[in-house]
Amino acid sequence: MIQPVILWTDALIFLLLAATVAFFLYARRQPHLRDPLRRVARSRVGMASMVVLAAYVAIGLLDSLHFRPALPGKPGAGVQYAVETLSVLDWLAAPLREQVEKTYSAPLATHAYAKEVVELPGGGEARDFPRLKYGGAQLADPAADKWPDITTRAFKAEAMALAGWFLAAVGLCAWLAQRGGEGLSAAWRDVWRGKTPIPWRTGLLTWGALLLLAFPAVALSTHYHILGTDKVGQDVFFQTLKSVRTGLVIGTLTTLVMLPFAVLLGIMAGYFRGWVDDVIQYLYTTLNSIPGVLLIAAAVLMMQVWMESNPDLFDTVAARADARLFFLCAILGVTSWTGLCRLLRGETLKLRELDYIQAAQAFGVSHGRIILRHILPNLMHIVLITVVMDFSGLVLAEAVLSYVGVGVDPTMQSWGNMINSARLEMAREPMVWWTLAAAFLFMFVLVLFANLFADTVRDAFDPRARR
């Protein structure tokens, strides 16, 4: 039995997911939104980016379904639940979470990274690299058997990945054949010759590349630490997977806080002008005059003092860490709405002078109806472009803030915390490089494809770019 747990960020994540679905359903009925979205889907770069980002989102959603497992108890007694809060990702990756070594070990290693005093088989002691408890434990002779074992497992995983990819490709072609009223072979040829309106070939190739990387990683991670272990022996690959959710939460939930301020105040400043415009301009000009990092650090430290003064509000460590993540998103949102607000103000100043807006005002249409029916729909492309382009900047902001000690809770896995812990590891001898490399690689891939997707969205929605 399990007890479902809904953290604050979990609720907001699924609220944002529902809002995204509602937006796409709304956009299907609006030509000015439907046509640009089709251009995004028909872009090869956009298709490849969406496949990679969908993989990250899937990991984040699996890590957002939390529960508390039931403790073993006596028959007839009441059910007691564990204090530790787990996620579906924790359950799926239980071997990675539970196989904790003593200290550092290099990627795919079978022995520890530093020498220790070990007992010799014939008696006595010597300084040597001790055998890992879990990494390569199935090998009788690690020196001779490690690489053949790794090669065999990786080859089998690659074969399974190719089989899974082929089934997915056949399923897609069968769906396209049924939809287009043609044969399966004809749909297969159209897909691989690039004759389909949507670049399914690019999507399938990107999906295949992900499978060829994911299947061997999963197959080897249950027998080896494929990205090594950290100072306390935790698997670095598991830490990077857990950090995906933190990066996505920072990049997306901040939007929920930022958009109401930016959209409401930006439209009010441009539409009503006068003293309303002066007050709003004074507000965001004053906010911009304060260095962002200092403002965020001060707010985070104040929040941390409040949380330490009220420990009874959080029943678990996960709830406390999640609350700090939620407040960090709120702080980032409050301090990052000014740029979009300025853009929307300028565009609203231009829109309110157009003939159909003037005609609506002359016929006595209320200001609220004009804003909702005429102003806001014509600003949605700016909002969408800004949101997708700010995502990568917010992911990097989390890494910077955690590096300086004012980011997420130290008990929460994040790329910023991994980079912060790697700061001292890089100075030791021998150097421990894999924690920094793993965090940088996963964050680089996410930011890269987020930027590529943002460029595609900007080119599709920006009328000046289309011209």
Give SS3 for 359.
helix
What is the number of structural domains in the chain? 2
Residue 50 to residue 199: CA distance in whole angstroms: 12
pTM to 2 decimals? 0.88
- Domain presence at residue 266: yes
147 shares its domain with 204: yes
257 shares its domain with 336: yes
> Which amino acid belongs to residue 443?
M
166 shares its domain with 245: no
The stretch 237-265 carries a mean pLDDT of 88
Q: Provide the pLDDT confidence category of residue 77 given band limits of 50, 70 and 90.
A: low
pLDDT digit string, tens, across residues 136-186:
888 888 888 889 999 999 999 999 999 999 999 999 999 999 888 888 888
330 shares its domain with 414: yes
Residue 437 to residue 90: CA distance in whole angstroms: 23
Residue 183 token pair: 């044969």
274 shares its domain with 343: yes
Structural domain ending residue among the three candidates 222, 256, 284:
222
Q: What local confidence, expressed as pLDDT, does residue 466 receive?
A: 53
Q: Are 40 and 456 in contact (CB under 8 A)?
A: yes
335 shares its domain with 434: yes
- Domain presence at residue 283: yes
pLDDT of residue 464 exceeding 60, the answer is: no
Closest to 101 measured CA to CA, from 91, 87, 92, 111:
111
Q: Tell me, what CATH number does 55's domain have?
A: 1.10.3720.10
280 shares its domain with 394: yes
Residue 448 to residue 437: CA distance in whole angstroms: 16
Burial level of 317, CB count in 10 A (0-12/13-18/19+)? middle
Residue 46 to residue 52: CA distance in whole angstroms: 10
Q: What local confidence, expressed as pLDDT, does residue 220 receive?
A: 92
- Domain presence at residue 343: yes
Q: What does DSSP say about strands 2-5 and 86-87: parallel, antiparallel, or unpaired?
A: unpaired
Q: What local confidence, expressed as pLDDT, does residue 465 receive?
A: 56
Structural domain ending residue among the three candidates 222, 251, 278:
222
pLDDT of residue 207 exceeding 90, the answer is: yes
> Which amino acid belongs to residue 138?
Q
Parent domain of 301: 2-65+235-466
The stretch 75-93 carries a mean pLDDT of 82
Structural domain ending residue among the three candidates 193, 222, 251:
222
